[in-house]
Chain A
């Protein structure tokens, strides 16, 4: 998604050097993807091996001075989630979690469980984002709720968790992630860009205490 597929990880005296998206080094990235010989290699690991890798990522990557660390996780409430919370707890507290759902009930049902996980593990929920929220036909501008509508917002209201916003189903966003273009720079006027920045503004203005 960030067009970094051919990059390798290097070691320095402080630990593993993350991959930077450009020479400004504003955005540093770490992923097991950088450790694969071939992009099609399957990582067929049981929990303990995954946990060890995650621990290594948390302890050994030399990020330098950073304002925000964003951790992308797989779906679920299992090894990866338990391990990342446990390991971060030992070093510094997790500011919180952002929960992403699509509007339909089946997805919202899984996010309810994710909320229960956060409650149980003491992770603050910064908010819920409703992704793939409506598709505007580029030909006639009719908006269709392809994956239903409103489920994410309704869940936020029901559970007393902040609702951060909706991101529409935008083929151009998907296309950008495929080709590595920065969507918000390529489409600065789009409603999708507005939605993304609204969410970022809400997150960065959250009082972390």
Chain B
């Protein structure tokens, strides 16, 4: 990550350089005073605290997508649910979609609030072994808009990582908003002090979505985030009446499997469009528990097994 701020002059020596604030190019820079104070060269104490918290978490998985509306949060919620089916595992689900926190509703925790304890913020528990944190739990009403620019969102993400007392956790699943911006740069930056198993990238079959997934893959490569694999969501719909399959989101350029091959990343599997998945999310229920024998639940389970295998 560059240590040249966005508003720095062209020949900025970098905020962590010995010349920070003192070089000729620093004249007139709005950051000059803070750079000369030496504050930016000191290691961020929060990062040490994040490192301590994360030391209790064995595996960390980011769920990303380039595009909105492809089912990232649905996947994150069900990945966490699926992992927690084994009661010997402790699972944590962190929602860093600050402006669009869907996780509380999807796991049936809408309206719950976060509590402070001596050891930090207590996450909200869905099951004994599944804990959740989201900005949704900090809002007075689920309808409240979080109208924040990047820096404030980054601050909250850091606070989540620093202050939430998850305890000993086997898997931390991080749900993100779509894109490659503040939230994504920040989560990677703050977790750079620990081991991250990798990212699962969600897409739908059409080129319009794949276009953004390729960008997301290039983001992962740029920030050296391993890619666990690609999941193709909404991959075909079976009519409940005549049982014929329709490709509602046509894979005009070969779909995610071909793209994964082209980009040399693992393909984890396809998830069909099942109206009951959306209904379960709306009602805060686990689709995997409600309809365990459905083709979609079987597909979910197979993908989750592959993710567990990757994490080792």
Contact = CB atoms under 8 A, between A and B. Distances in A.
Contacts of B185: 44, 46
A178 B144 contact: no
Contacts of B293: none
Contact of A178 (B206, B237, B275): B206
Interface string B223-259: 1000000000000010111101011111011000000
Interface of B is mostly: loop
B281 interface: yes
Contacts of B105: 105-106, 109
A137 B100 contact: no
A146 B142 CA distance: 24
B147 A40 contact: no
A40 B278 CA distance: 30
Given A120-B147, A146-B237, A177-B208, A110 B6 contact: no
A55 B159 CA distance: 30
Given A106-B102, A148-B282, A137 B244 contact: yes
Given A112-B143, A142-B242, A175-B252, A45 B222 contact: no
B249 A174 contact: yes
B216 interface: yes
A144 B178 CA distance: 27
A45 B252 contact: no
Contacts of B58: none
Interface of A: 1, 39-51, 74-79, 81-82, 102, 104-107, 109-110, 112-114, 116-117, 120-121, 135, 137-140, 142, 144-148, 169, 171, 174-175, 177-179
Given A41-B218, A105-B105, A144-B275, 12 more contacts: A1-B208, A76-B100, A77-B146, A104-B278, A110-B100, A116-B144, A117-B147, A140-B242, A146-B278, A171-B247, A174-B248, A177-B206
